[in-house]
Structure 1
Amino acid sequence: MKLKFIADIHISPLTVEELKNKGYNIIRVTDRLPATSSDNEIVGFAYKEKAVIITQDLDFSAIIAQSGLDGPSVISLRVDNAKPDRVSRLLATVLPLVEIELAE
């Protein structure tokens, strides 16, 4: 089964488009939820959709830990240079490893 990814608001639409072009099943959170959605709402949506959240926000891991839910998984990006081309290259390297890890 191919993983679904949801990019948080801080991930550029350019990055999402590039990853789609590489064959990833990815949307931006604003494709399905209002831009004003809380992190809790995003977690609930990702859980329901069985999707991995890609974010630069550290709050998601804490929300999931406190909720007692067994997901969703979160990819937390901590980068000095968050330009879309750099983030796209980084994710293109990391996502195949995430897919392998979560398939096990």
Structure 2
Amino acid sequence: MKLLVDMNLSPRWTDAGMEAAHWSNLGASNAPDTEIMAYARANDCVVLTHDLDFSAILAATQGEKPCVVQIRADDVSPDAIGMQVVAALLQMASELEAGALLTIDPSRTRLRVLPLPSRS
């Protein structure tokens, strides 16, 4: 599994023990989320983010890829929540390969299989 770390997370996430690249090394810092999603889909990456827009894009487009992992915590540094994120990624690897939205917060982890239903 390859991670694409969004601009809203520290580049230190690329040192979390998994194959990862930070968007700042791949594209423009002001790139729209749709561009990041397109890159992740084309390169078979899982997007790691703190941004809720990625799940909204998945729901609106009923997309099956790319998978998205959202960190929902006040402190999103690898020092604070890194072990929990890496453990969840390893535990849910097969679901993420198949297509999923994984939300991780300090008290729980939630997995939703893609495509997400649109909110009408």
Alignment-mate amino acid for residue 88 of structure 2: V
Output aligned runs, 1:39-50, within 5 Å. Answer: 39-50=33-44
CA distance in 2, matches of 1:69, 1:82: 26
What is aligned with 2:6? 8
- Larger RCO (CA within 8 A; separation ≥ 6): 1
Higher helix share: 1
Alignment-mate amino acid for residue 84 of structure 2: L
Please report the RMSD computed on the Cα atoms of aligned residues, expressed in angstroms: 1.6
What is aligned with 2:74? 80
What is aligned with 2:104? none
Structure 2 residue runs of 5 or longer lacking an equivalent are 99-120
CA distance in 1, matches of 2:89, 2:69: 9
Higher strand share: 2
Identity across matched positions, percent: 28
Q: TM-score, normalised by structure 2?
A: 0.73
CA distance in 2, matches of 1:81, 1:73: 22
Q: For the structure 1 residues 43 and 103, does the alpha-carbon distance in structure 2 shift closer, same or farther, using more than 3 Å as the test?
A: closer
Q: TM-score, normalised by structure 1?
A: 0.82
SS at 1:75 equivalent: strand
The total of aligned residue pairs comes to: 98
